[in-house]
Amino acid sequence: GAVVSQHPSWVICKSGTSVKIECRSLDFQATTMFWYRQFPKQSLMLMATSNEGSKATYEQGVEKDKFLINHASLTLSTLTVTSAHPEDSSFYICSAILGAWSNQPQHFGDGTRLSIL
Amino acid sequence: AQKITQTQPGMFVQEKEAVTLDCTYDTSDQSYGLFWYKQPSSGEMIFLIYQGSYDEQNATEGRYSLNFQKARKSANLVISASQLGDSAMYFCAMREGRDTASKLTFGTGTRLQVTL
């Protein structure tokens, strides 16, 4: 079954709106979560690494004031796209790691399709 | 240089046949992990198989196996007995170093289409 839950699945909103996406680890604690962005027919690009209780680590070129990440608990990380514009329309997907063993994959949520009108 | 290279944008395979999806990687780390994920049109990322850099045997998970050739830095995914439900995008990814909290770097993906 799913180990990471992401909500909402779809968002359509007007330009200038702020949108919050939630990523929850189910039945396990995730000190680290990851946020990715995927444009159509392209690969996943890491936006930031979310660390519980501390500031997120953003990848080069990602605006931290635009994409606010909060990892306030061991089971929840949120990504807020502030003052969203049409160019922010994309597929956003989060992931978490279940354990500390080297063979542990990142488990992904189902993703959020964001459309800004 | 690209860390993960998938040279096949698209592949076709007939149902019940085997197919190999190519992946080469570039790293100077001695410790790393290689992952394959499947992404159906619905968008979710499904973990398929893992190969560690120190693993001496090729990983296998059901119909999936990984042809790991360390000297050539390749980690090809082999899907045996293809099924229509295998039609999806397939991504190869690498995690460098020993820290499991390290980020994954993804390749550009291969779209697999299984035909009757």
pLDDT tens digits for range A73-91? 889 999 999 999 999 999 9
Model pLDDT, residue A2: 64
Query: Pairing state of beta strands A32-38 and A90-97?
Result: antiparallel
Q: Kindly provide the b/e burial profile for residues A16-54, where b requires at least 16 CB atoms within 10 angstroms of the residue's own CB.
A: eeebebbbbbeeeebbbbbbbbbeeeebbebbbbbbbee
The alpha-carbon gap from A91 to the nearest alpha carbon of chain B, in Å, equals 8
Task: Identify the closest residue of chain B to A42 by CA–CA distance.
Answer: B108
Q: Which distant-in-sequence residues (6+ apart) come within 8 Å of B99 by Cβ? A: none
Q: Which two tokens stand for residue A112?
A: 């959020």
* Position A13 pLDDT exceeds 80: yes
Residue B81 has φ and ψ, to the nearest 5°, of: 45, 60
User: Tens digits of per-residue pLDDT, B37-48?
Assistant: 999 999 999 999
CB contact at 8 A, B61 and B48: yes
Question: How many cross-chain Cβ pairs, A to B, lie less than 8 Å apart?
Answer: 58
Contacts of A44 in chain B (CB under 8 A): 45, 91, 106
